[in-house]
Structure 1
Amino acid sequence: MIDLQSLRQVSLFAQLNDQDLHWLAEHGSDLWLEPGKKFPKEGERADYFYVLLEGKLRITKNFGGHEMYLATYEPGTPFGEVPLFTNKPYLASACALQESHLFRLNKDAFWEMLTNLPSITRNLLNIMGERMQVLESTSQQREKLVALGTLAAGLAHEMNNPAAASCRAAEQLQETLERLSSFALKLSQQPITKEQMAYIVNLQHHTIKRATPAPYIDSLTQSDLENEVADWLKTHSVDDVWKLTPALVQAGLNTEWLDTFVEHVTADLLSDALKWLEATLTGVELLNEIEQSTTRISKLIKAVKDYSYMDQAPLQQVDVHEGLQSTLAILGYKLKRSVVVTRQYDLSLPRIYAYGSQLNQVWTNLIDNAINAIQGNGQIWIRTSRENDSLLVEITDNGAGIPPEIHSRIFEPFFTTKGVGEGTGLGLHIAYRIVVTHHQGDISFISQPGCTCFQVRLPIEQSH
């Protein structure tokens, strides 16, 4: 039987009389752990309540396949009460940092102890409340970091293409400028009249204006035009036909234009003049590509700033449509061509006082869940409307739906339908706390096979 003096050293049992301590000693048992021994383990069935008498334990929880440190337990610390109270497996693992001595009670003795010793019940409920707050707070921070990492990875993916295109265009532009200088020098060395030079310069401005932006031509029409232009150039003994043809056709210059052009320049100037014009058009095209790429990067950065409400007060008047749009931009890497997003916005809705970045976290969780529900292939509808004194946001998907037997648990902390390491079960719980606790709103859902709709109601007139 365990030593009574060891139990007296535990603050949880400090006020018990000898009779109660004898009862604990009779119903409990010893457990010795060597350094490095992990016990209990997260996910195992909870059968015991423990109190650390000697030694030291490191408490960790698994998040996404990685163990995260939660706390270090010193002698006198009780643990294991949370899963027994909630009838769930152990929420975390304990590992002995040094040789450790534990006192334990099985499940039946634990409940009998709570019935017969109310002072322990009160203390344990206080401990459990504090412990759950710490665990939930730590898990929420982890959830946010995981979400941030996912968004950062997606953002990097989205930025990579325009950044690479911009770098590639800049390199090609440098080569084009060198060619342009060479052609201009060569052209200036040719016998050319002032009238011809004025025509060519005027033609350059006209052609650039005409080619910006480049007119759309379908592939079949472009192929036919390139063949016609190539034949014309060969007939007039122009060099580098294969290089000149695509640039001229892309700029909308056809054989009729070439017939007019050749009337204003002599035959010996034709080839050099066209090469100079092609280099100019290529340079303009590359500049357009750089502009489009950098504009795309700028829009992504703006989306991030809008999403996080960077440099803005946390509580302010916000437009939910701006938040929804910036969230869709951030999640763009997940919205492939096989995902159809339909927006049905009531743009007459007023701004509301809210924590913008927190609401965006709600939209992220709900839209991301919808994307997962359709497994990257289906439809998502996002609708806003007014419902009495509330602003209603509905996010619907045509996925498989949520099984009826888990409807009542969807917003519970740590409840998840995802596999081990894939989710913490806090996404919807965080969304619930943000909407209900922080914004005095409401979040609910309707689900059946082929249609799941989450509804968020936010008060339009809100105290602030």
Structure 2
Amino acid sequence: MSTPPLTREFLRELFLFERLADDQLDWVLEHAVREDYPAGTAIIREGEPATCFYVLLSGALRLTRLVGGSELELIRSDQRGAYCGATQFFMGQRGEQRYSASVHAVSDLTFLTLPAEQFAARFGEWFPMATHLLEGMFLGWRNSDAVIGSRQRLLALGELSAGLTHELNNPAAAAVRATAALRERVAGMRHKLALLAKKDIEPDLLEQLLDVQERLVEEVASAPTLTAMRQADREDEIGDWLEAHEIEQGWDLAAIFAAAGLTAESLEQVLDSVGATLIDGAVRWLAYALETELLMAEIEDSTKRVSALVGAAKQYSQMDRAPHQWIDVHDGLESTLVMLTGKIGAGVTVVREFDRSLPPVPAYAGELNQVWTNLIDNAVAAMRGSGTLTIRTGRTDDLVRVEIRDTGPGIPAGIRDRIFEPFFSTKPAGEGTGLGLDISRRIIVDRHGGRLRVESEPGDTRFEILLPLNE
């Protein structure tokens, strides 16, 4: 690796130093050291004393921070003149400074390094007013960010957890109800079996009854889903059969048999197996067996739903996953929809037009989920509880395309160019920070090298995200 020698002319090619006077450049040249690092080297470690200010001369680096015990990559850069390390050197007189992030060499690279303590003293002499302004801005930003950021995180967590717990409550409550009913049905089966046994039923006849039971139970899993009208007709048909064979309270049993997929012909098979004498007890015992199977299927479906919701929450949060990975964008979109189910509400119709043949893309999955959350949340808010949310995926050349579309009133042309500006919001005061679209743009454009654009007219607003298929 070779870079030109450090001279005034060379330093002025770097945006940090281009406006410095000759004597200032001479001070930098006197105190600067050029350092070379091979690819893969950990140059700076988060939390260590911030002793040096680094300026990138060549190569590529990445900055990371530890969040919850996991390494989070903040940025990658190969921009000549990019700086890192003791970036708050001007705060040196307020106490010992420590590196706020770790820096790793992605490729072989060269840094120009300056001693932070000496640079801070000289910087204060060169730019006293700027130093005071930077100190005030930094302290103000840090304090307000601590207060506002904490509040925003709590609000976001509260909204997401409320939606998730609401979704979890439904299948959990269904499983509890089905379990209680199942306990009653099993007790009823034991009672009916005892009654059959008291009638001295022949062993061969009991075996036939058990065979019929097993055959009918197997049919439950493959029973077709009937329309409400067809279900009612089936219940009428079975009820008439039970009444014709003098089985009391047959209408209660008819609903069970119809839900299990049985017909009057199925009951004729039972009659042929056990005879008219035992048909009443046999039908009731079979009803308990079939209802037990239906309840177990309901419990299985409920617990699967709970498991799917937990899986969606883990995918959304990217728990136990690498920050940068090859992903299927549909996984993040689906998990985001699950997490926002409570906010989307029943009045919004969600339409998925997914191209499942799309290849995986290299991405920061957790950050993309933040983009999907911001865009979907804005779309739902724009529709005010009623409309159609369409999420479409496809491919444009060597880019994966994700389109989020809503039927809200649209974005007025006069402010369309400003919606990605920090702190610009069309929501009433207190309902938004104005940072969602700015954050989304930075994640898509700066972090992933993609594109984010919007088209809007009344009744049709479309945000289009384009993500590169290659690193």
Runs of 4+ off more than 4 Å:
none
The alpha-carbon deviation at position 378 of structure 1 amounts to 1.6
Residue correspondence of structure 1 range 94-105 to structure 2 within 5 A? none
Whether the aligned pair in 2 keeps the contact of 1:215 and 1:250 (CA below 8 Å) is no
2:340 to 327, 331, 338: 331
The alpha-carbon deviation at position 170 of structure 1 amounts to 0.3
d(CA) in 2 for partners of 1:215, 1:392: 38
- Choose 183-192 or 228-237, whichever is displaced more: 228-237
Whether the aligned pair in 2 keeps the contact of 1:316 and 1:354 (CA below 8 Å) is yes
- Equivalent AA in structure 2 for residue 447 of structure 1: S
Q: Helix, strand or coil for the counterpart of 2:363? A: strand
2:171 to 150, 162, 183: 162
- Choose 321-330 or 262-271, whichever is displaced more: 262-271
Whether the aligned pair in 1 keeps the contact of 2:327 and 2:363 (CA below 8 Å) is yes
1:253-274 Cα distance to aligned partner (Å, 9 max, x none): 3333333432332333111111
CA change 1:313–1:257 in 2 (3 A) is closer
Determine the structure 1 residue equivalent to 2:405.
396
Determine the structure 1 residue equivalent to 2:319.
310
Determine the structure 2 residue equivalent to 1:150.
159
1:225 to 234, 251, 267: 234
CA change 1:154–1:202 in 2 (3 A) is same
d(CA) in 1 for partners of 2:230, 2:408: 42
1:162-221 Cα distance to aligned partner (Å, 9 max, x none): 111110000000010100111111111212222211210110011001122443233333
The alpha-carbon deviation at position 398 of structure 1 amounts to 1.9
CA change 1:357–1:332 in 2 (3 A) is same
Whether the aligned pair in 2 keeps the contact of 1:140 and 1:426 (CA below 8 Å) is no
Whether the aligned pair in 1 keeps the contact of 2:260 and 2:294 (CA below 8 Å) is no
Residue correspondence of structure 1 range 11-50 to structure 2 within 5 A? none
Q: Which runs of 5+ in 1 are unaligned?
A: 1-76, 78-117
Determine the structure 2 residue equivalent to 1:109.
none
Q: Helix, strand or coil for the counterpart of 1:253? A: coil
d(CA) in 1 for partners of 2:459, 2:254: 53
CA change 1:395–1:263 in 2 (3 A) is closer
2:461 to 422, 427, 452: 452
d(CA) in 1 for partners of 2:455, 2:145: 27
d(CA) in 2 for partners of 1:248, 1:458: 53
d(CA) in 2 for partners of 1:452, 1:129: 38
User: Within the alignment, does 1:256 sit opposite 2:255 as a pair?
Assistant: no
d(CA) in 1 for partners of 2:412, 2:201: 82
The alpha-carbon deviation at position 388 of structure 1 amounts to 4.3
Cα root mean square deviation, aligned: 2.4
CA change 1:415–1:132 in 2 (3 A) is farther
Residue correspondence of structure 1 range 49-448 to structure 2 within 5 A? 119-120=128-129, 123-129=132-138, 131-132=140-141, 135-136=144-145, 139-448=148-457
CA change 1:421–1:280 in 2 (3 A) is same
The alpha-carbon deviation at position 326 of structure 1 amounts to 1.4
- Equivalent AA in structure 2 for residue 290 of structure 1: I
Q: Which runs of 5+ in 2 are unaligned?
A: 1-93, 95-126
Q: Helix, strand or coil for the counterpart of 1:268? A: coil
Whether the aligned pair in 2 keeps the contact of 1:140 and 1:430 (CA below 8 Å) is no
The alpha-carbon deviation at position 455 of structure 1 amounts to 2.3
- Equivalent AA in structure 1 for residue 341 of structure 2: G
d(CA) in 1 for partners of 2:396, 2:232: 56
d(CA) in 2 for partners of 1:266, 1:347: 55
The alpha-carbon deviation at position 224 of structure 1 amounts to 3.5
d(CA) in 1 for partners of 2:251, 2:353: 49
The alpha-carbon deviation at position 230 of structure 1 amounts to 2.7
Percentage of pairs with the same residue? 42
CA change 1:122–1:447 in 2 (3 A) is farther
d(CA) in 1 for partners of 2:314, 2:158: 16
Q: Helix, strand or coil for the counterpart of 1:371? A: helix
CA change 1:256–1:392 in 2 (3 A) is closer
1:287-308 Cα distance to aligned partner (Å, 9 max, x none): 0111111111111111111111
- Equivalent AA in structure 1 for residue 238 of structure 2: V
d(CA) in 2 for partners of 1:448, 1:230: 57
- Equivalent AA in structure 2 for residue 382 of structure 1: I
TM-score, reference length from structure 2 = 0.68
- Equivalent AA in structure 2 for residue 255 of structure 1: A
